Structure 1
Amino acid sequence: MSRISVPTTAPLPSSLRVNPSSTTVTKILSRLSRASLISVALDWLDEDNLSLATPYLRPDQDDDEEEDDGDFYPPASSPEELREEYLSLQNRKGSKRDILDRITTGDWRHGVSLYQLAIADLQYLYDHPTSQKWSAYNIVPLKAPTEDDDGEVQPLEADKTSLTIPRFHPSLFLKSLQAQILPDIKAHYNLDRHKTLPLLILRIFVIDSPYNTPLSLSSNRNMDTGSKTILIAFPDGSPNIFISKPTSTGPKGASESKSLRALLVEGIPKALSLPRQRVTLQSTSLTTRNLEGLLDRRGATRGNAAGGGWSIYADEKVKESPLSTVLPSPPLSDAAEEEEQGNGDKKRRKRPTVEERVNKRARLVAQARFGDTARVGDGKGVERVDLVMEDPFEIGGDDADRMDIEGEDDGEEAFRPNVRLTFHGSHVFAGIRQLVECGVIDGEKMPGWMTGEEGVTIGAVRNGRIRGHKGSGL
């Protein structure tokens, strides 16, 4: 290990090792189950990863194995032997603590590399898909700079008519992003292809140190009180990116994590920009722990602009379009209802009761308003929706007659109380759909944003329409 560390702008190398007794290492590994720990160890011992995850092995000259006396986890003689040992552990019963101790005090007692920590951290994401809170951002091209009559350059504006999407080249992007990171912190970058979803995940591990040597990681103060982790997901073929909420191990992690996220939101578009092709990031007011739900609303699917009842047109099997001259039969048509009852059945059917007709009407209304979306178990739900109601309240009598649609008349302001609504649940819009089907909510008078067709989780409602909140750009 070098005794002198010189500040540098280079990122932390993947081969850099961390003390196994570090709180950061223990926290990342202890979150995994026994089966996941064994799976991660086998990934480390793979031939493609072995150069960055070399285990502690018995020296070649140690033939008599005298040094192994008293060693609870004797070192293996080769990676192949160690791989066979972990494969045999898969078929044995045991505790997670045994595997964790074997990794930290046995096979990788000399240190766990940053690459190994990245693999273990992402394995936890695959085991627990809702462990991260993601926010979606839209990549928007900027117009070319212009000058006014006085010759002053005008601020860059978003080009909403442009269809240009910047090309993503991982190595160039990481090199450009590193230049945007502050010089007094160092980051380790790891790119990984998601196992089941069509997206690329970039894990950024940051420590508060200007050095990128083992000496900078030898101090537990740098690792355990100043380390932060943030994930960035790049969906395939989509002009959107997803950024997770940073996690920190320090006592001041909340404020520092917000600063790191703000720094990345500012630095990512600069790293994606090219000469004469600059872009910016705009919030979509969509935040959720469900990564699959984000892909459904902000991925490369046809459902991005077809939420709620419009989702029937996002199905590739449906050839019709709202602009076609011959429209498809709507869910509430008489023909569809008669077909459902069965015209060819000559048997006399029992006349439905009033309650049965009301329930059936509610289910058909829910089908018309939600389409094929918002179903329990579809894996695309959002767990929280926050709204601010800015519409004026009708107060009745002559006062109500004096209010126009904007809520003001003759200098008098309308009654606008501070009303905020928060919906909680594992699948908010599926819950609203069930309330419509049960007749608790009038689906015919329900506003469109309650079906989730706007694709936002944070917004303000004014004149019956939802808008992005706090400068989201919507």
Structure 2
Amino acid sequence: MARISVPTTARLPSSLRVDPTNPAATKILGRLSRASLLSVALDWLDDNNLPLALPYLREDEDEDDDDDDETDDFHPPARSPEALREIYTSLQARKGSKREVLDRITEGDWRHGLTLYQLAMADLQYLHDHPTSQQWSAYRIAPLKPPHDPDGEAAPEVDKQSLTIPRFHPSTFLRTLQSHVLPDVKAHYNFDAHRSLPLLILRIFVLDSPYNTNHALQPTGTTTSFDASRTVYIAFPDASPHLFISKPTTTTTLSSSGGRASGGGGESKSLRNLLVEGIPKALSRPLQRERFTLQSTSLVTRNLAELVERRGGGRTNSAGGGWSVYADETKGKKETPLDLVVPGPPLSLPDHGEGGGKRAAAVPVSDAERREERAVKRARLVARARFGGTGLVGDGKGVERVDVVVEDAFPDVVAEDGDGDDEEGVVGRAGRAGRKSRVDGSLGRDAEDEDEDAQEAAAQGWRPFVRLTFHGSHVFAGIRQLVENGIIDGERMPGWMTGEEGVTIGAVRNGRIRGHKGSGL
């Protein structure tokens, strides 16, 4: 422990050790399975990670003194890391309880403390074991135009024609991020490559402390710095101008009834806002006049595979729904919308599958059954045309929630009279002309006293407030099943219901969906 600690803006070192009996450390390790604990322990003992995860070992000069105490120690220390690797490898080969492995780590081999680097590896192991444990939001890195105002008072504008992308260097990025985003709190950073997706994940562990030594982990009164700690992840997809930020989570085990003040949601939102504002500063290079900003893409999900599919570096960013057939890289020949599509047999012809024609000739089918069979087949063809290769139950690329506000005007028809005068013939589709006329009359009376914006709104017609929320394990797969079963008319269904727009939060106006700014509606 450092003898003197002063407040500093430096980040927390990876070698800083945490008491293994700390509730936060116990929680991080306790949620891992037995197999994951053994895998993490072996990763700690790897030669590349050993300097930052050194276990408690027996010293050779104290071998005689420790022989008497060895019988009293339930987990005697090993003589070398190689011997400890053999012990954990043998534990993998046989069955046992999770408590056995957890006690050996916290009370035996790492009884003197777990480094922040070890806790970060355990936390990332849990993320790999549970891919849907975090809620992610996708952001686009957009370049800004050089400022023309010498005073810098004008708001910066996004350069939509620029193809400039920021250069990413981990150490420079972390140093700039610490100085611009979190100078008043201490944070530990750890990079890790995703095992199955083209992602580089940055874990940020934030402590509410001005120190970067062991004093940051010491209790202050009845609480410790871990009680107000936050963990947030930032994922950088390969070859993509996007990044994904997770919702900050807490590692505390105390409840609000235990003396901890409420308001963690506000603190998490503030931390996220700081990151959204600070990450572009860490990516910008002012001397080269390269500045960037983050723009929300209105895509929020717990599925990282879906984020990579929609905002990654592949060809599926702008090819959702039925357009996905043209971005399928598994086919030998790349299809384009200009390819000639040979039409198949008409739906009226019988199915010539395995004995289908013979059964149809042998078994009489009524007209109602034939029409129902044709309707079912057509619904499946329509679903395949609208969704393409997306929206499948087992594809592992589902979103859990879609929130949409419909801002379109109420549909109406114009009924002409016998003289061809249609000025007074505005009738609602439902046939309730009186209700529609009262609304139009009210809007007309208000328009006389309002400004031009109100007159334009009245001319557009009545706009009811309609909010749609789809919730499930795979929203678009559920909508596809509804189309296949004929519950939803797939031919008249808007494109945003197929997922081709790639947004989960948006507003529909004039038939087109646009992403909402911010995180809510």
> TM-score if structure 1 supplies the norm length?
0.91
Following the alignment from structure 1 to structure 2, what is the Cα–Cα distance between the partners of residues 29 and 272?
A: 33
Identity of aligned residues (%): 65
C-alpha contact (below 8 Å) 1:307/1:373 kept by paired residues: yes
Paired AA for residue 192 in structure 1: D
C-alpha contact (below 8 Å) 1:19/1:218 kept by paired residues: no
Q: Which residue matches 2:93?
A: 91
Following the alignment from structure 1 to structure 2, what is the Cα–Cα distance between the partners of residues 78 and 249?
A: 33
> Match of 1:62, SS?
helix
Seen in structure 2, the aligned counterparts of structure 1 residues 283 and 176 have a Cα distance that, compared at 3 Å, is same
Q: Which residue matches 1:389?
A: 406
C-alpha contact (below 8 Å) 2:15/2:115 kept by paired residues: yes
Q: Which residue matches 2:58?
A: 58
Q: Which residue matches 2:448?
A: none
- Point out where structure 1 has 5 or more consecutive residues left out of the alignment: none
* 1:447 is the counterpart of 2:494: yes
Residues 286-325 of structure 1: pairs in structure 2 closer than 5 A: 286-316=299-329, 317=331, 318-322=333-337, 324=338
Seen in structure 2, the aligned counterparts of structure 1 residues 81 and 171 have a Cα distance that, compared at 3 Å, is same
Task: Tell me by how many angstroms 1:390 deviates.
Answer: 1.5
Q: Which residue matches 1:243?
A: 245
Residues 61-460 of structure 1: pairs in structure 2 closer than 5 A: 61-64=61-64, 65-147=67-149, 154-219=154-219, 221-249=223-251, 251=260, 252-274=263-285, 275-316=288-329, 317=331, 318-322=333-337, 324=338, 326-329=339-342, 333-335=343-345, 341=351, 350=360, 353-394=370-411, 395-396=428-429, 397-398=432-433, 411=458, 414-460=461-507
Paired AA for residue 200 in structure 2: L
* 1:38 is the counterpart of 2:85: no
Task: Tell me by how many angstroms 1:161 deviates.
Answer: 1.6
- Point out where structure 2 has 5 or more consecutive residues left out of the alignment: 253-259, 412-427, 444-452
Paired AA for residue 381 in structure 1: G
Following the alignment from structure 1 to structure 2, what is the Cα–Cα distance between the partners of residues 39 and 346?
A: 54
Following the alignment from structure 2 to structure 1, what is the Cα–Cα distance between the partners of residues 454 and 80?
A: 78
Following the alignment from structure 1 to structure 2, what is the Cα–Cα distance between the partners of residues 160 and 468?
A: 17
Following the alignment from structure 1 to structure 2, what is the Cα–Cα distance between the partners of residues 51 and 368?
A: 56
> Match of 1:386, SS?
strand
> Match of 1:130, SS?
coil
Paired AA for residue 350 in structure 1: A
Task: Tell me by how many angstroms 1:292 deviates.
Answer: 0.3
C-alpha contact (below 8 Å) 2:347/2:378 kept by paired residues: no
> Match of 1:32, SS?
coil
Following the alignment from structure 2 to structure 1, what is the Cα–Cα distance between the partners of residues 272 and 457?
A: 46
C-alpha contact (below 8 Å) 2:401/2:469 kept by paired residues: yes
Following the alignment from structure 1 to structure 2, what is the Cα–Cα distance between the partners of residues 130 and 408?
A: 48
Following the alignment from structure 2 to structure 1, what is the Cα–Cα distance between the partners of residues 504 and 346?
A: 34
> Match of 2:513, SS?
strand
C-alpha contact (below 8 Å) 1:208/1:222 kept by paired residues: no
Paired AA for residue 467 in structure 1: R
Task: Tell me by how many angstroms 1:462 deviates.
Answer: 1.5
Q: Which moved more, 1:67-76 or 1:440-449?
A: 67-76
Seen in structure 2, the aligned counterparts of structure 1 residues 354 and 156 have a Cα distance that, compared at 3 Å, is same
C-alpha contact (below 8 Å) 2:231/2:251 kept by paired residues: no
Following the alignment from structure 1 to structure 2, what is the Cα–Cα distance between the partners of residues 348 and 420?
A: 50
Q: Which residue matches 1:47?
A: 47
C-alpha contact (below 8 Å) 1:146/1:153 kept by paired residues: no
> Match of 2:316, SS?
helix
Larger Rg: 2
C-alpha contact (below 8 Å) 1:407/1:413 kept by paired residues: no
C-alpha contact (below 8 Å) 1:52/1:113 kept by paired residues: yes
> Match of 1:161, SS?
coil
Task: Tell me by how many angstroms 1:98 deviates.
Answer: 1.4
Query: What's the RMSD between the two structures over aligned residues?
Result: 2.8
Task: Tell me by how many angstroms 1:44 deviates.
Answer: 0.3
C-alpha contact (below 8 Å) 2:404/2:468 kept by paired residues: yes
Following the alignment from structure 2 to structure 1, what is the Cα–Cα distance between the partners of residues 47 and 321?
A: 48
Task: Tell me by how many angstroms 1:450 deviates.
Answer: 0.3
Seen in structure 2, the aligned counterparts of structure 1 residues 124 and 411 have a Cα distance that, compared at 3 Å, is closer
Following the alignment from structure 1 to structure 2, what is the Cα–Cα distance between the partners of residues 349 and 99?
A: 63
Following the alignment from structure 1 to structure 2, what is the Cα–Cα distance between the partners of residues 412 and 104?
A: 71
Seen in structure 2, the aligned counterparts of structure 1 residues 463 and 356 have a Cα distance that, compared at 3 Å, is same
Seen in structure 2, the aligned counterparts of structure 1 residues 444 and 346 have a Cα distance that, compared at 3 Å, is closer
Task: Tell me by how many angstroms 1:153 deviates.
Answer: 5.6
> Match of 2:202, SS?
strand
Task: Tell me by how many angstroms 1:180 deviates.
Answer: 1.3
Following the alignment from structure 2 to structure 1, what is the Cα–Cα distance between the partners of residues 77 and 455?
A: 80
C-alpha contact (below 8 Å) 2:350/2:357 kept by paired residues: no
Following the alignment from structure 1 to structure 2, what is the Cα–Cα distance between the partners of residues 301 and 4?
A: 52
* 1:469 is the counterpart of 2:516: yes
C-alpha contact (below 8 Å) 2:189/2:202 kept by paired residues: yes
> TM-score if structure 2 supplies the norm length?
0.83
> Match of 1:304, SS?
coil
Paired AA for residue 195 in structure 1: R
> Match of 2:508, SS?
strand
Q: Which moved more, 1:250-259 or 1:89-98?
A: 250-259
> Match of 2:294, SS?
strand
Following the alignment from structure 1 to structure 2, what is the Cα–Cα distance between the partners of residues 52 and 24?
A: 19
Paired AA for residue 455 in structure 1: G
Task: Tell me by how many angstroms 1:346 deviates.
Answer: 12
Task: Tell me by how many angstroms 1:422 deviates.
Answer: 1.1
> Match of 2:122, SS?
helix
> Match of 1:393, SS?
coil
Task: Tell me by how many angstroms 1:198 deviates.
Answer: 0.5
Following the alignment from structure 1 to structure 2, what is the Cα–Cα distance between the partners of residues 249 and 320?
A: 49
Aligned length: 466
For each residue in 1:229-271, what CA deviation from the matched residue of structure 2 results, as whole angstroms up to 9, or x when unmatched? 0000000000000000001145442211111111010000111
Seen in structure 2, the aligned counterparts of structure 1 residues 408 and 459 have a Cα distance that, compared at 3 Å, is farther
For each residue in 1:113-136, what CA deviation from the matched residue of structure 2 results, as whole angstroms up to 9, or x when unmatched? 000000000000111110110000
